[in-house]
Amino acid sequence: WAASSAQIVVAGSTWPEEERALRRMDWHSERRLVLVPHDLSASHLADLDRMWEGGAIRASAWLALEEAERNRWSVVVVDSTGLLFDLYRIGTVAVVGGGHGSGLHNVLEPASAGLPIVTGPELGAFREAHALQDIGALTAGDVTELTEAWLADEASCRQFGAAGLNWLEGQRGASARIVSRWVNNLS
């Protein structure tokens, strides 16, 4: 399914603001969406079903289909937990939820997959998000507009996704350095 599409947007820990923004985009066999909502309650999943008006399928139902039937779906709503880290590996662009005031979610997971990242406008005090923004690997603002911009420029997508991964790899050992600093200050 992923290999048969030119572009996959993996939207992780989304809130209604990101979900509405992504709904405005055009999804088809060459541009697919994997939507992983923050809220997996039955009522929110039902809201998403209504929002997509039959244009999306829940992952639990999608997985039960034969491959040919799976390929006719362009939007899959993940209705279980524990998959997001692995799903970023099939993506072209990551949309990370929480950038509209609810608290930005983990941007390190999509960075570790080498994806450029889109969030809402509010990064809060998340140091890593600001660092990724400073090197161009993360853009914050209008989710629809920014996602479309990344998808329109495949070369920049790869370049800035790689820049984020390189930055992240440069942070190896940070926990040990911090603990060492604390230990040294206590002695």
pLDDT means per 10 residues, the chain with 187 residues, are 95 97 97 98 98 97 96 97 97 97 94 98 96 98 97 96 97 85 80
Report the distance separating Cα 7 and Cα 33, nearest Å.
9
- Predicted confidence at residue 186, as pLDDT, reads 80
The size of the chain, in residues, is 187
At 39, which amino acid appears?
D
Centre a 10 Å sphere on the Cβ of residue 43 and count the other Cβ atoms it contains.
7
* Predicted pLDDT of residue 70: 96
pLDDT for 140 equals: 98
User: Assign residue 101 a region: left if phi > 0, alpha if psi is -120 to 50, beta otherwise?
Assistant: left
Of 101, 112, 102, 118, the C-alpha closest to 12 is: 118
- Backbone phi and psi for residue 76, each to the nearest 5 degrees, phi listed first: -120, 125
* Predicted pLDDT of residue 145: 97
125 phi, psi to nearest 5 deg: -100, 20
